[in-house]
A and B are shown apart, each in its own frame.
Chain A
Amino acid sequence: MLCRVLPILILGLTAMLTAAAIEYLPETLYFPVVEYATPEHIRIALYKNGEPELSACEQGASKVAVAIRAGCPGCKVVERCFRGLDAGRRNILSREPLSTPSVRAPGGKLTMTFSAVDPQLALGVCEQSERLSAAQPAGQRLRCFAALAPR
């Protein structure tokens, strides 16, 4: 009897622990977020994958912020590290459609969202990001998703 139930129990335990790992382990990680606003009032938020250590997260966020400041001296840049993901940030990193245009790198290493008073302007910047990354190696190319488009 137990021999018949045991495989099901172990399979169930594996499924349960896998789900728990995916659901709860991100709460123990630090996620770098860099937000900036261009002089044209386009707000861009950049989300990177989680880091186990706060120092690694801060270092990652700072590296991105320095690069943005160098390329866009007029931009207002704020870099932060969040422990875990709230519902909004989790949604941004998920496959769910977003209310704003967004780009994502393969494997989810990087996600960016674009918002502006003129939605077409935000979409234009999103598409431009995709075009600019076309010259990069396949693993670093970005893909633009329009607002409310499946990702």
Chain B
Amino acid sequence: MTKAEKFYDAAMRLPIVAYQLFLILRELSAIRGRVGLHPYFGGDWPFLMTISARVAGVIFISAILLLSISRFRPVGKYSNWNPKITALLGTLFTYLLLLTPRSPADALWDSLSTVLILAGTTMAIVAVMDLGRCMSIMPEARKLVTGGLYGRIRHPLYLAEEIAVLGFCLQFRTWQAAPIVIVHLYLQIRRMDWEEGVLAKAFPEYAGYRLRTYRLVPGLY
């Protein structure tokens, strides 16, 4: 890896890592404030669910942060900025949700949120274990992975992320959340297009893989 490539790699990771660290610290501070606002200890189910939903959110962001730090260097990538910006926005845009006001705590919504975020986190970790260090934020080809979850769908990591995003949305339930999620979904679909493009260019066997797998939801899409 040349110095310029190393610099590019670090420069691409730095804003993402900084942004995610900022959100983690912000969420931890919010959890601290929440605990202080509710000085009941033990046996209060809605309170426990609110805190666990927030903790699940921190675990998800931390997992994505850690997983995006270690990865292989790419063997193929786009040279223009459009796919890179789409990828960066696709990753970071959804976290804008965390900067908008949350709806009042609700045991049912918070429980569902916890379940979805944890399911998304678990699936993301399994997908990343399948990927090994081939995971990347930018649409880059590192190695073609077709085993594990990738044997069923082509973008399990995105599916995992969307499950977690849905979980986050349940904590917000506000009009501000809707456009953020719609734009995020659009960016993610564009991101999948770019990724499939770069993988198809780098790996001739990708065409066959694409024919025998669904993109995101088995049997549907």
- CB pair A108 B32 closer than 8 Å: no
* A18 contacts across to B, CB distance below 8 A: 48, 51-52, 55
Is the C-beta of A62 less than 8 angstroms from some C-beta in chain B? no
Residue pair A14, B55 in contact (C-beta under 8 Å): yes
Contact of A14 among B35, B52, B126 (CB under 8 A): B52
Of chain A, the residue at the smallest CB distance from B40 is: A108
Interface residue ranges of A15-43 to B (CB < 8 Å):
15, 17-18, 21-22, 25-26, 28-29, 31
User: Are A13 and B35 in touch, CB under 8 angstroms?
Assistant: no
> Is B56 touching A52 in the complex (CB atoms < 8 A)?
no
Q: Which residue of A lies closest to B119 (CB)?
A: A7
Q: Is A6 an interface residue (CB 8 A)?
A: yes
Chain B binding surface, main DSSP class: helix
**Listed stretches A89-97, A113-121, A124-132; interface member:** A89-97
Chain A residues near B41 (CB-CB < 8 A): 22, 90, 93-95
Using known A-B contacts A14-B56, A18-B48, A95-B44, determine if residue A2 contacts B129 with beta carbons closer than 8 Å: yes
Choice from B37, B118, B129 contacting A7 with Cβ under 8 Å: B118
Given A21-B35, A28-B32, A52-B32, A10 contacting B42 (CB threshold 8 A)? no
> Chain A interface: which size bin?
20 to 34
- Judged by a CB distance under 8 angstroms, whether A49 is at the interface is yes
User: With A and B bound together, what is the CA distance between A94 and B121 in angstroms?
Assistant: 33
Asked if B208 CB lies within 8 Å of chain A CBs, one says: no
The A interface, classified by DSSP as helix, strand, loop or mixed, is: helix
Q: Specify which of A7, A26, A109 is in contact with B35 (CB 8 Å cutoff).
A: A26
B55 engages A52 (CB within 8 Å): no
Decide: A29 near B118, CB < 8 A? Known: A95-B42, A95-B44: no
A10 with B35: CB separation less than 8 A: no
Q: Pull 14 A–B residue pairs with CB atoms less than 8 Å apart, ordered by A.
A: A2-B129, A10-B118, A14-B59, A14-B118, A18-B51, A25-B36, A29-B35, A49-B38, A52-B29, A95-B40, A107-B38, A108-B37, A108-B39, A109-B37
A residues touching B (Cβ–Cβ < 8 Å)? 2-3, 6-7, 10-11, 13-15, 17-18, 21-22, 25-26, 28-29, 31, 47, 49-52, 85, 90, 93-95, 107-109, 111
